[in-house]
Structure 1
Amino acid sequence: MLRIGVIGTGWIATRHMDALTREAGVQIAALCDINEQRVEELASKYGAEAYTDYIEMFEESALDMVLICTPPGIRLGPISEAAKRGIACFIEKPPAFDEKEAIEINKVIEESGILASVGFMYRYAGAVEKAKELIAGAAVPIIRSVYVCGLAINPDWPRWFFNKSLSGGPLLDQAIHVIDASRYLIDQTSGDISELQAFGSNLSIEKTDEFTIEDSHVLNIRYKNGTIQNHTQSWAIDPNYANIELISNDFHLKIDLNPEPYAFYRSKLTGVYKNNPIDIDFTDEDFYITEMRTFIEAVKTDNKDLIRSPYHDAIKTLRTMLLANKSVEENKGVYV
């Protein structure tokens, strides 16, 4: 039985835990959160022990694997404590809040030899996997992508997301998923960037002391292999939609990452590939489940090759988004 702990019990944690309850041979053994009432309620729901101190949880729970679902500024401590005990880490995005911490975390992971994966779930989407297969070895001159949703106009959403000093804002929290999937599609090494420019605006929601993010962004990227990308991002447009278009003379493929509004778990691939129409709807998938199931299998078999988003590669996506925020704040392009 694989004993699993979870640190941080927000929306994404419960999404993962609901998926884990459907997996054989695993047990949600311990939960940790600074909100004592919430962690006790969820621990009762999932049949786990409740903690408000993650070190105490590690000392008492004999875990095989832990999910790090904390806000992005709380990564190094929990991962370091897990690594001391040889516990595999599934780390929600972003992999860290800044590059310095990410490098420290990567050193901890590599020196301890623990298995670690970052929660870039689009790498496990059927449409992404199929598109990557189709374009393997081909140049991708243009990528056009978009992710918009009404997160900032949702009165029930946790307010810390709208404090850039805590969440990193839409670029670090959400656009990071689409840019990571784009890097993955054109290959992890070719997915290195050489230049970017980002713009932000607040035409929908004015900045205040509590709302310090830009509500909308446009990001332009030049990759080292010559691919260029334009990404549009907003937290002030509802209903949500997210897609990636791959455009060349040989193909025009559209990866729809939520074919239905508020469907955050399946994908669809449409378009044309070498004059052949493509229309594949992955109606039965749940890429959150695929992502978690893959990591569980990697832990059970001690096979790091199953992991599609290793920490050392996730740092490259993190660096891209940190530079994008820098470009917005300094109002100029950034060369890498």
Structure 2
Amino acid sequence: MKILDLVSTTDARLSLALGDAIDNKTKPLGSLGRLEELARQIGLVQATTTPTILDPAILVFAGDHGVVAEGVSAYPQEVTWQMVENFLAGGAAINVFARQNACAIHVVDAGVNHAFGERAGLIDRKVAFGTRNFAVEPAMSGDECAGALERGFALMRDLPGNVVGFGEMGIGNTTAAAALMHKLTGAPAGQCVGAGTGLSPDGVLRKQSVIEAAVRKHAGVADPLDVLATFGGFEIAMMAGAMLEGARMRKLLLIDGFIVTSALLVAARLQPAILDYCVFAHCSSEHGHRLMLEHLHAKPLLHLNLRLGEGTGSALCLPLLHAAVNFLNQMATFSSAQVSERAD
């Protein structure tokens, strides 16, 4: 399976032009802080000094995980399909925050262990009815993993707009994400594993032991795609594919929490330039996310102690993206406003 090369957004001339445009606004140098960095990044991604936010959307990928058979979740597996129904009915947190920010939501069945049938608002890209238990065997075959990636590519090609956020739903997916983090970063499993949907301390230790045993069982797995197939989920693989294609199309990628970032870990191993296109929405309170972000040298916009997933952090950071492009496009310059500049 061929992963197309990504072009870095590095452009010294454009970066200088964006810097001049930002510095000439009627404000002290650097006084808009991270918004200035964000405006420059969006300009570089879109290859222009007048960037825009067009038709922002959030893709919420849902999938089930065979590893829940090991008792790694506080909730039963059927919660995955029940929450998909909640998304479709407009009653979840992501629906509320997306409506608030005029952002479209697209719910994707990547591999839920439930037959939804044809449903308005649901994009059926199901690879299988959940992954297998990676404590016993690889979660996916190579063909299944490749199929999930390719469906992610196609989804992104069909999506309008230039900004896309990522969200997920899947009971057991913090276990898959922690296993991917442990394997891809080399961080000890104890630093990767958290409470997920609310495990007790004993439950967290059980999750850690399941991951450690599985990594020992699959010790020979090293290639990023093989790691993804062995420990990942259909929703994680499909997200990784969508991210790669989105960056190739020069879309801005909004990276949500722990599980979404685990998909990016895989994508970044395949194409490191993808990080140029990523805005990290927040630092989750899920144990391990801060370390995962540090591994990627990422600077999250928000610190709100979120750990819900669904793409909620992606939706909440949208006003900051609008603010960044709006000040760049609409704010007066010293000359246009006839405001005196610094004497030095």
- Measured against the shorter chain, the TM-score band is under 0.3
Q: Which has the higher helix share?
A: 2
TM-score by length of 1: 0.27
- Larger radius of gyration between Structure 1 and Structure 2: 2
Q: Which has the higher strand share?
A: 1
TM-score by length of 2: 0.26
Name the structure, 1 or 2, with higher relative contact order (CA <8 Å, separation 6+). 2
